C-alpha cells in the first residue's frame, strides 16, 4: 500500500501506537505531527491521502483546522476525540470530517475505517464505464465521477459521492441507516446512525433545488431513507 497517511495528535503514545498497527497492515508512508502547525507543514510537503486528526491540539482546534483544510482539499479526515456526545459528532461532520472515532479506541478499528475511506477514495478516482444518470436538478457522470448542477461541478467527498450514487442506482427503495452504512461504508460493527444522517444532510444541501424542501432523498418515518428519481424530461 502506497497511500500516504498523516497522523495528528498531541499524544506521542497514540501516534506511535497507530503507526505500529498501520505498518503491520502494510502502510509504509506514514507521517506524524503533534501540533496544527507541524501538520500544515507536512500537508504542504507530501500531500497526504488521508488525515487522522485529534480535535484537541495544543495550538489549534482540530475542527477549525479541518474547516480551513476543506477550502483547499477533499482529503478524507477522521477525527479522534474524547468527546462522545451526539452534538460533538454532528459538529465534526458539519466541519467537514468524514468519520468520528472516540477515545479510548481500538487501533484495529481505526485501521479498518482508514481502509474504507481509502477504498472509497480509490473508487471515486477510478474511471468506470461511461454512464450518465440524469435528474431534473443534477446529473451524475459515472465515467468522471462528477456531479453537476446548473452546469457546474459540485464538490463531493468520496463517501458523499458513493452514498449519492448508491441511492441513484437503487431508486424508490427504502434503506435503513444500518443498511446504508453496511453497503456504502462497508462496515457492520463500526459507526452509528448519526454518520449516515449527517452525510445525507450534506448531500441534500448540494443537490436539492430548494433548501427548505426535500425532493430527492426522503426520510420515511420509522423505516429509513428513499431516493425518488425525478427524471429529466427528454427534449
Q: Are residues 119 and 10 in the same domain?
A: yes
> What does the pLDDT read at residue 126?
56
- How many folded domains does the chain comprise? 2
Q: What are the angstrom distances between the C-alpha of 34 and each of 14, 37, 75, 109, 120?
A: 10, 9, 19, 21, 27
**Residue 79 burial (CB < 10 Å; 0-12/13-18/19+)?**
buried
Higher-pLDDT residue of 119 and 229 is: 229
7-38 pLDDT per residue, tens: 999 999 999 999 999 999 989 899 999 999 99
Q: Are residues 188 and 112 in the same domain?
A: no
Q: Are residues 204 and 147 in the same domain?
A: yes
The pTM assigned to this predicted structure is 0.61
Q: 219: which residues sit within 8 A by CB, 6+ positions away?
A: 225
Q: Are residues 116 and 17 in the same domain?
A: yes
We report the CATH number of the domain holding residue 189 as 1.10.10.10
Q: Are residues 101 and 27 in the same domain?
A: yes
Q: 150: which residues sit within 8 A by CB, 6+ positions away?
A: none
Q: Are residues 24 and 85 in the same domain?
A: yes
What is the chain's mean pLDDT, rounded?
87
Of 64, 90, 124, the residue that ends a domain is 124
Parent domain of 21: 5-124
Taking residue 119's Cβ as centre, other Cβ atoms within 10 Å add up to 14
Of 96, 124, 152, the residue that ends a domain is 124
61-118 pLDDT per residue, tens: 999 999 899 888 888 999 998 876 777 777 888 888 888 888 888 899 899 889 888 8
Quick one: what percent of the chain has pLDDT higher than 90? Answer: 52
d(CA 81, CA 151): 39
> What does the pLDDT read at residue 1?
47
* 99 within 8 A of 79, measured Cβ to Cβ: yes
Amino acid at each position: 500500500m502506497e497511500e500516504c497517511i498523516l497522523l495528528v495528535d498531541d499524544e506521542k503514545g497514540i501516534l506511535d501506537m497507530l503507526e505500529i498497527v498501520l505498518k503491520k497492515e502494510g502502510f509504509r508512508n506514514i507521517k506524524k505531527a503533534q501540533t496544527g502547525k507541524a501538520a500544515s507543514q507536512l500537508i504542504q510537503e507530501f500531500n497526504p491521502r488521508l488525515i487522522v486528526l485529534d480535535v484537541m491540539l495544543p495550538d489549534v482546534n482540530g475542527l477549525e483546522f479541518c474547516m480551513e483544510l476543506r477550502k483547499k482539499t477533499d482529503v478524507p479526515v477522521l477525527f479522534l476525540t474524547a468527546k462522545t456526545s451526539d452534538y460533538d459528532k454532528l459538529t465534526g461532520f458539519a466541519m467537514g470530517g468524514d468519520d468520528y472515532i472516540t477515545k479510548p479506541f481500538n487501533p484495529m478499528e481505526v485501521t479498518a475505517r482508514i481502509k474504507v475511506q481509502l477504498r472509497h477514495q480509490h473508487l471515486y478516482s477510478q474511471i468506470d464505464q461511461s454512464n450518465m444518470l440524469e435528474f431534473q436538478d443534477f446529473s451524475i457522470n459515472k465515467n468522471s465521477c462528477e456531479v453537476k448542477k446548473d452546469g457546474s461541478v459540485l464538490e463531493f467527498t468520496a463517501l458523499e459521492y458513493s452514498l449519492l450514487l448508491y441511492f441513484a442506482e437503487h431508486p424508490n427503495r427504502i434503506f435503513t441507516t444500518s443498511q446504508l452504512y453496511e453497503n456504502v461504508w462497508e462496515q457492520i460493527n463500526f459507526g452509528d446512525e448519526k454518520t449516515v444522517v449527517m452525510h445525507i444532510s450534506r448531500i441534500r444541501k448540494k443537490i436539492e433545488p430548494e433548501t427548505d424542501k426535500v425532493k430527492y432523498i426522503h426520510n420515511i418515518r420509522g423505516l429509513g431513507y428513499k431516493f425518488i428519481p425525478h427524471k429529466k424530461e427528454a427534449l
